[in-house]
Amino acid sequence: MTDAAPAEPRTFHPSWPAFHRRMLMRFLWLAPLLVFALVIAAWPSIGLALVVLGTGILLAGLGLLVYFARSRVTVESGELRIRGPLRTRRWPLHAVATLVFVPLPGARRATLYGVSPALERMFSLSAELWDEADLEALAGAIGASVVRAPAGLAPLELQERYPGTVGWTTTHPWLVVLLLTGGAMIVMIAVAVVVAAVLIATGQVPMPSPS
């Protein structure tokens, strides 16, 4: 009698085409609003607004490049490994109590959440970054019980009915917007201070003389 051969490892990757298709329309309506807000905040220095905008686009692009290059999920030998841009997390498959598909407000496709027996979030894989078919296949490979939240529920109701899934960024979207806006303002102020210091140090802007 021979032992059964171990199952082949299954590896899943985030989908750049899916992300590109789903985010393109959001960028089309969000970009003019972002440019307008930056111009108003940096007025009358339009150049500063353009520098901040270009820096933000560059940093976002680098972040996405690192994410799609490094991120993957592997199911192998009874273990679940999720490698992100900076670290890799591991759990035995039996540690995942429930897999919950949650259509977040404003999204047609469901994000996949892994929930522990203590009803704590273990991981989440966004529907904006992962292909729907891959998330379904991953859920089958993990083998935990699957729960599907109905679409149209408010964030607070999702948090109450499905603990261990959505967090404060989903239940307080306007706070996230304020934090992002505040961060952009801080960056603009820092850039303005640095530019002014360089101009003064190089003599391009004379210091006011005492009267």
pLDDT digit string, tens, across residues 137-186: 999 999 999 999 998 888 888 889 999 998 777 766 666 666 666 666 67
Task: Indicate whether 203 belongs to any domain.
Answer: no
Closest to 114 (Cα-Cα) out of 76, 169, 165: 165
Task: Indicate whether 2 belongs to any domain.
Answer: no
Q: Mind listing the pLDDT tens digit for each residue in 4-26?
A: 445 678 999 998 877 766 565 55
Residue 171's pLDDT is what?
65
The residue-averaged pLDDT of 93-121 equals 90
- Would you give the DSSP letter of residue 17? H
The residue-averaged pLDDT of 54-65 equals 74
Task: Indicate whether 205 belongs to any domain.
Answer: no
Residue 141's pLDDT is what?
94
DSSP reduced 3-state for 79 = strand
Residue 19's pLDDT is what?
75
Task: Indicate whether 209 belongs to any domain.
Answer: no
Residue 5's pLDDT is what?
47
Among 42-46, 111-115, 180-184, 192-196, the range of highest mean pLDDT? 111-115
Task: Indicate whether 5 belongs to any domain.
Answer: no
Q: Which domain holds residue 21?
A: 10-195
Task: Indicate whether 200 belongs to any domain.
Answer: no
DSSP reduced 3-state for 166 = coil
Task: Indicate whether 201 belongs to any domain.
Answer: no
Task: Indicate whether 178 belongs to any domain.
Answer: yes
Which residue shows structure tokens 């505040």? 182
- 203 φ/ψ sector (left φ>0, alpha ψ -120 to 50, else beta): left
The residue-averaged pLDDT of 61-86 equals 88
Q: How many domains does the chain have?
A: 1
